[in-house]
């Protein structure tokens, strides 16, 4: 299994998580460099965000694995390392991704994610 936008030094497989029923697999590429944001962004987006990171969701149906979603942070920045760690709920409906290098000053839930004055403070994203 490979990422649909494989590129040098992405580190696809940096973290993996499988749902309890074995039907949903999340795979990270913490060094992926696209500056796309959110779910289903443009995978061919320029590679100016070195180390921004990404997660890929695959689903198994009738014994066959297929690509389901390309996942990025809502505030993608270089060196966020989105997906450095990830987890999937037992039913495969919830994905949690860390971004250990994320630098926003945001606090709690829904803070100001645009102000990057707190270097490597980190963040967690829930989908």
109 — alpha (psi -120 to 50), left (phi > 0) or beta?
A: beta
- Please check the confidence at residue 43 and state whether its pLDDT lies above 90: no
Candidate from 37-41, 56-60, 65-69, 106-110 with smallest mean pLDDT:
106-110
Residue at 82 is within a domain:
yes
pLDDT in tens, 74-124: 999 999 999 999 999 999 999 999 999 999 988 888 888 888 888 888 999
Return the higher-pLDDT residue of 113 and 2.
Answer: 2
Give how many domains the chain has, as a whole number. 1
DSSP for 94-109 reads: -EEEEETT------SS
Residue 81: inside a domain: yes
pLDDT at site 109: 87
Query: How far is residue 63's CA from residue 58's CA, in Å, rounded to a whole number?
Result: 12
**What gap in Å lies between CA 101 and CA 105, rounded to an integer?**
12
* In-domain check, residue 3: no
């Amino acid at each position: 299994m490979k990422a649909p936008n494989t590129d040098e030094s992405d580190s696809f497989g940096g973290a993996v998580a499988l749902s309890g029923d074995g039907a949903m697999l999340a795979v990270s590429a913490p060094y992926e460099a696209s500056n796309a944001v959110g779910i289903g962004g443009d995978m061919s987006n320029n590679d100016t965000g070195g180390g921004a990171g990404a997660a890929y969701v695959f689903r198994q149906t009738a014994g066959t694995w297929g690509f389901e979603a390309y996942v990025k942070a809502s505030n993608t920045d270089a060196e966020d390392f989105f997906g450095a760690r990830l987890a999937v709920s037992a039913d495969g409906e919830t994905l949690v991704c860390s971004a250990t290098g994320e630098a926003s000053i945001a606090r709690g839930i829904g803070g100001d994610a645009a102000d990057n004055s707190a270097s490597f403070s980190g963040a967690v994203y829930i989908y």
